[in-house]
Structure 1
Amino acid sequence: MMSKSSPVNFLCVILLASAANSCEISSFSNVSVTVVGVLGIDKVSGCLEPIGLLEKVSFVQIINQSVPVLYRGAVKDLPNLADLILENSGVSSLEPG
């Protein structure tokens, strides 16, 4: 006999799935950005991945912000991203991936 799933169980599955997709180490911490392709995004934390409005982003510019390390998965799977510009942001290390 199949048991019915409660809304709480369903929510837990969604939360676990979204946590599994997020980056392991955050490269961005409340970093000011300029984006093209969506409205309403001016700061990012964590990583740049296709969650919510970021899925439609085609251009990301980060200037004069503190981003010393781009960790693995810092920018991933953005289907429309054509340009990513990091300028004067103190990047000293790029990890593979």
Structure 2
Amino acid sequence: MEKIKEKNGQIKIAHLSELPLLIGKEVVIAGFEIALFKLANGTVKAIENKCPHKQGPLSQGIVSGDYVFCPLHDRKISLEDGLVQKPDVGCVKTYDVTVIDDNIYIDF
């Protein structure tokens, strides 16, 4: 998909209709891997696609509520703030998401 830089500093990265409910989608922007998720309540979240523990692809993780579980070692990561939940430690970068019509934009 073509990436479009918008005037307000946001980048169009996907269409909402392409994003399955509770299943991650990997998007690559300028060499950065981003995991997109559409939650049960319809909100869209974007985080760095690599677990801080062993760089597991978070887009392939299981979503539960506002969390994704790393597919490699089951680390629980908040989709709100990127923090790995205790007793584990670490964090991933989160991105602000805006949905306009069927288009998903992130601040990058």
Q: Same fold (TM over 0.5)?
A: no
Larger radius of gyration, structure 1 or 2? 1
Structure with the higher strand share, 1 or 2: 2
Structure with the higher helix share, 1 or 2: 1
Using structure 2 for the length normalisation, give the TM-score: 0.27
Using structure 1 for the length normalisation, give the TM-score: 0.29
